[in-house]
Amino acid sequence: MKKNFILRISAAVFAVVSVVLFHREFYQQFECYLKGKANVISQEWHIVILNILLFVLLLIPLSFRRKAKWGEYGIVTAFFVSLFVEMYGFPLTIYFASRYFSEPVVCSAPVIGFDFLGVGFGMEIPMIYAAVLMSIGTILIVIGWITLYRNRNKNNFTASGIYKYSRHPQYLGFILILFGWFIDWPTIITIIFVPILIYKYIRVCGIEEKEILEKYPEYGKYMNKVPFSL
């Protein structure tokens, strides 16, 4: 039953990612942003600061699983800072790209619009896909955080709650968030940073498991029963 549940979840995530990758409007948005023709929000520094704080705070729960090594999170913080400065502060990549691409590009029209803190936002279809992925990722991180926090005083590794179905739900959550930002803001920053960060998270998972195995040999049995991710 557990394996069937995991297979269904994995298939659902794969289906969502596949639809995004092969959807015509995703490529349309990708071209629009890379050629500097997208309509962007700029000079809204309060939105920049708020988003940086919110996403950097998501790193804190990782310290409940293993002792935090903040040097490992430096590149993640740099990604979020540069991402939000470009998105809502000064869109440097788009500014430079617009100087070198003069041909017309058809950009998708927003299908959802809303105001937040005095700023008007518009979401195209690819952005809605991205929001779904980021929401799933955030939920995984929060559930993982709650599970780890409840087990923080136990002198063993956490294998209950969501950790019965995935050894690294929080890292999976971060990867979904990163992929969501790649869809939402397909510029040079995400093209460079996202693959590096995904590789880094997978690598950290391996390092973490070696550390846990040294301290708790029974973790090997847990690894045989619970998949690396969902």
Does the structure show a pLDDT above 70 at 127?
Answer: yes
pLDDT (0 to 100) of residue 8: 56
In whole numbers, what is the pLDDT of the chain averaged over residues?
76
- What is the extent of the structural domain holding 10? 2-225
Instruction: Output the pLDDT for position 72.
Output: 58
Query: Above 60 in pLDDT, residue 3?
Result: no
pLDDT at 230: 53
Asked whether residue 19 is domain-assigned, the answer is yes
Question: Does position 7 have pLDDT exceeding 60, yes or no?
Answer: no
Q: Is residue 61 part of a domain?
A: yes
> Considering the domain boundaries, does residue 230 fall inside one?
no
* Average pLDDT rounded to a whole number, residues 13-42: 71
CB 157 within 8 A of CB 220: no
Q: Would 124 be classed as within a structural domain?
A: yes
**Half-sphere exposure (Cβ direction) of 118: Cα atoms closer than 13 Å:** 6
Residue 109 lies in a domain: yes
Give the chain's domain count: 1
177 is a domain residue: yes
Q: Tens digit of pLDDT for each residue in 55-97?
A: 777 766 555 555 545 455 677 777 778 888 887 777 777 766 6
pLDDT at residue 6 above 60? no
pLDDT at 119: 80
- Condensed to tens digits (0 to 9), the pLDDT of residues 184-208 reads 888 888 888 888 888 887 887 888 8
